Amino acid sequence: MIRVLVVDDDFRVANLHAHFVRAVAGFTVIGVAHTAATAVEQARKHRPDIALLDLYLPDGRGTDLIGELGCDVVMLTAAADAASVREAFGRGVANYLVKPFSAADLADRLQAYARYRSHLNGNRALGQTDIDLAARLLRAGDPVQSNVRKGRSAHTANLVIEALRGAAEAVSAAEVAALLGLSRPTAQRYLADLAQDGRASVSLRYGSTGRPEHRYQWRTKATLPSPDRS
């Protein structure tokens, strides 16, 4: 379970955010705080993995607490000015979500955070590809900027895109499914969409059974096919 501390000066908002968190599998709320002092006290007592932190607290700014909480932080705030966002990311927050937001908005970011933690689990040595993928997974809950087919999930499409972009070599649908916690048919559909759109290349690899395995690789701008001018 990923342990969450919710910090917001408004009692009703804090309880709502805690309710949102409890609805996400794999997460549990270990405390709710309404002041900076209480947040630090609860963080020291309960040692959360992540804090959902408001910027404006009655006894200080949330960003001033980031180094004291001893855990990862996602800002949940109405502050949308560039200076506040810059300050928060400069101090190392994992993500920044502007109020008001839906339960699904928060769930997307929490699930992305869970995948990020899972990818960095243990004390193994990491290559640059591993580190790049970790950064992409952390942001994979943010809205996708490209169009997706009717009936497809923009969130899932974004996850598949980032997994493909972060792979050092061509990968199979089964490998993408295992990485993202998807079913193989679901991963296959999204990978096929990317291949059809020309955003991924497809190659075949023959195994001992003789049945070819489709393997997908992200196309960089330099390798995108030229438009047909005929």
**Is residue 36 domain-resident?**
yes
Total of domains in the chain: 2
> Hey, how many other C-beta atoms are within 10 angstroms of the C-beta on 105?
17
Could you read off the pLDDT of 144-171 as tens digits, one per residue?
A: 545 577 788 877 888 888 888 888 899 9
Domain of residue 53, CATH code: 3.40.50.2300
Could you read off the pLDDT of 44-53 as tens digits, one per residue?
A: 999 999 999 9
Instruction: Report helix, strand or coil for 209.
Output: coil
* The pLDDT value given to residue 150: 79
Question: Which has more pLDDT, 128 or 40?
Answer: 40
Do 11 and 86 lie in a common domain? yes
Q: Is the pTM of this model over 0.75?
A: no
Backbone angles phi, psi at 83, to 5 degrees: -65, -40
* Cα of 10 vs its chain's centroid, Å: 26
Domain final position from 94, 113, 132: 113
